[in-house]
Amino acid sequence: MSIGAEYLMKVVTLMQFARKAGKLVYGYDACLRAMHHNKLYLVIIAEDTAPRTQRGITLAISENHTRIPVMVLGLQSDLSAALGLPISGVFGLGDKQFASAILKYDAEQFHREEPCK
């Protein structure tokens, strides 16, 4: 198993736990609503999501003056199938602990600095 596949599997597993806990939001509009209600801590965008959708999310984050991290990984079909959801390219985590666990794993995997808490 390659490092990329192992990394993706770990992130998807954490997303599955968040979904079971009712803390996963999926879809462009649902993520924007959660963001405007300050109930979003991490946004995950699939790699094959349309550039206009990606721009819309990043623009909404900057206009909302929030510091929500955005990750781009996986494919829409793979992520949606693993989570048991209809095909979507935008996923949001509405729980601080799940978001920080994914960001911590990302920082460890790629030797990045953890974001401020």
Q: Is the residue at 97 inside a domain?
A: yes
Query: How many domains is the chain built from?
Result: 1
Laid out side by side, the sheet with 24-26 consists of: 24-26, 90-93, 42-45, 70-72
Where residue 49 sits, what CATH number does that domain have?
A: 3.30.1330.30
- Give yes or no for residue 11 having a pLDDT over 50: yes
Q: Provide the residue type at 56 as one letter.
A: G
Q: Is the residue at 117 inside a domain?
A: no
pLDDT of residue 64: 86
Q: Is the residue at 116 inside a domain?
A: no
pTM: 0.88
Domain of residue 23, residue span: 3-110
pLDDT of residue 34: 95
Predicted confidence band at 107 (pLDDT cuts at 50, 70, 90)?
confident
The length of the chain is 117
Strand partners, 24: 93
Measured in degrees and rounded to the nearest 5, phi and psi for residue 44 equal -115, 125
